[in-house]
Structure 1
Amino acid sequence: MARKKPKCPQLPCQPPRPCPSVATVFGTLVNAGAIVAAGVAALGRVPDPPVRLQRRLQALLGILTLALAFHVVWHGVWAVPGTFARTLGLAMLALVLGRWTGGWLKLQGRLNRLGQFAGRHLTVTLDQVGPSAWPQVFYAATVIFCLTPLAVVGPLLEALAEDRRALGLKALVDALATLSLARTRGPGVVLGAVPVLALQGTLTLGPAAARPALVGFHGDQVLCTTGGLLLLPVALVMLQVLRVRLADYLPAVIWAPLLAWLFHRP
């Protein structure tokens, strides 16, 4: 007798949803692929874009991130009729508590020290980079590609809303960084695609598996709205409008589902 294929848990009110698979992490695969492609292009002596074009691309990415932030927040607060005030209020409270938690943990300060660590390991030139120096360049690339707000918010949006646009923007940002770094620091930069796959894949598959439980108390809705609000300061930093301690706000993604559960009214 043929054995039945196991099914993912579904809520009665939700349409059938496939188990997490490779398609679930498509945005992360694109991100890692962009790093590899840009690295190969740089090592193949493809010239860097002119500085003026790079600045325009950064401004364009900032504008696109800002538009995406408003889009995610708008759809998040209106996802379930009658929950606008509750969803927006809980998302903003999650940001406040996240900022307090991040400040207490000194996340931005720790991230700044990691950035300085990356900078020290990227002071070598291509002539000085041999196989023995690849690990140092790899560690630095890991910091650059993984320790950013988009590396957290993007996978969450992909997992909970099947929205891969944030990861698409991150793929472009990482590709531009790789083009610049790989030419002077060698192939070790391309290896940064591996931790991107590991980190962002985990941050996608975990929430995707937990989504049926989150839906029961609208935790996915509050978490997506919080993610949209987190994209706003990211866009402002890209546009060089404000300098924001972005890392201090990241604990908001933990507070969001917790608050949704605490204030859930059956």
Structure 2
Amino acid sequence: MGTLCNALAVVLGGLLGMVLRGKFPLRVQEALMHTLGLVCVPLGLSMALKGGKFLALLLSLVAGGALGELLQLEGRLEHFSRRLEERLKTGAGTFAPGFLAATLLFCIGPMTIMGSLEDGLGKVPQILYTKSLLDGVASIALAASLGVGVPFSALSILLVQGSITLLARFIAPSISEAFVQEMTATGGILILGIALNLLNLKKIRVANLLPSLGFVAIFIRIL
């Protein structure tokens, strides 16, 4: 349900952006993003407080953050995005640049993974609902400048997030409730990092913290 909501938000936002071409001021975009950043703060806090093992949460974030920094996950993702965008822009017309830029923006990131896992594990997909708002606003701005390819990126969202959600549902019976709680708490900290980025308060390399979600499974068994 969360992925369908996300895809619909991108389609509607993209269509609206095409209608509003040249009429969507940058200051309005910034105001909307700051508002969504404020919304992410209570969401992240409520998720972070669901954990019952603070030490496991702390160690998971420390270990995951260290591994992510060593692997330079965020830098690699950004480099991959730029390279792919540059290749597809060459002689690609007007459709491909918009489709690619939107696909990379909406399908590569912490909220994509955390939200799809949350949805697949049978929880209320709060992260994907929040992501739907973010992507909807972003798709308005993208479509206003890049055109018709942007709303079609909803197909990429259905494919990527739908696959992760189905995988999570498949493995859900073998996942303990303790793991779900601590993974939710860890994800909440990452959402707070995204909030800081949206509010332009501090640049947090959130993608480098993604390995923390895997370390949770280890530390809840040890502690």
TM-score band by shorter chain is 0.7 to 0.9
Q: Letter of the 1:240 partner, please give it.
A: N
- In the other structure, the counterpart of 1:101 is 67
Counterpart pick for 1:112 among 52, 55, 78: 78
> Structure 2: where are the runs of 5+ without partners?
none
What displacement does 1:43 show? 2.5
Verify: 1:185 aligned to 2:146, yes or no.
Answer: yes
Q: Is the 8 A contact 2:89 2:97 kept in 1?
A: no
Distance 1:97 1:240 in 2: 26
> Structure 1: where are the runs of 5+ without partners?
1-25, 78-83
1:46–1:109 Cα change, 3 Å: closer
- In the other structure, the counterpart of 1:228 is 188
Across the two proteins, how many residue pairs are aligned to each other? 223
Q: Give matches, 1:252-263, under 5 Å.
A: 252-260=212-220, 262-263=221-222
What displacement does 1:72 show? 0.9
What displacement does 1:142 show? 1.5
3-state DSSP of counterpart to 1:240: coil
What displacement does 1:212 show? 2.5
What displacement does 1:121 show? 7.2
RMSD: 2.5
Percent identity of the aligned residues?
Answer: 30
Q: Is the 8 A contact 1:122 1:185 kept in 2?
A: no
For the pair shown, the structure with the greater C-alpha radius of gyration is 1
Q: Is the 8 A contact 1:88 1:225 kept in 2?
A: no
Verify: 1:158 aligned to 2:133, yes or no.
Answer: no
Counterpart pick for 1:56 among 10, 31, 41: 31
Q: Is the 8 A contact 1:122 1:140 kept in 2?
A: no
Q: Is the 8 A contact 2:110 2:207 kept in 1?
A: yes
Distance 1:117 1:190 in 2: 22
Q: Is the 8 A contact 1:182 1:190 kept in 2?
A: yes
Q: Give matches, 1:212-227, under 5 Å.
A: 212-215=173-176, 218-227=178-187
What displacement does 1:47 show? 6.5
Greater relative contact order (Cα < 8 A, sep 6+): 2
- In the other structure, the counterpart of 1:89 is 55
Q: Is the 8 A contact 2:3 2:162 kept in 1?
A: yes
Q: Is the 8 A contact 1:73 1:224 kept in 2?
A: yes
1:81-106 deviation line (CA, Å, top 9, x unaligned)? xxx3xx22212211111112212222
Q: Is the 8 A contact 1:220 1:257 kept in 2?
A: no
1:121–1:46 Cα change, 3 Å: same
Distance 2:217 2:47 in 1: 17
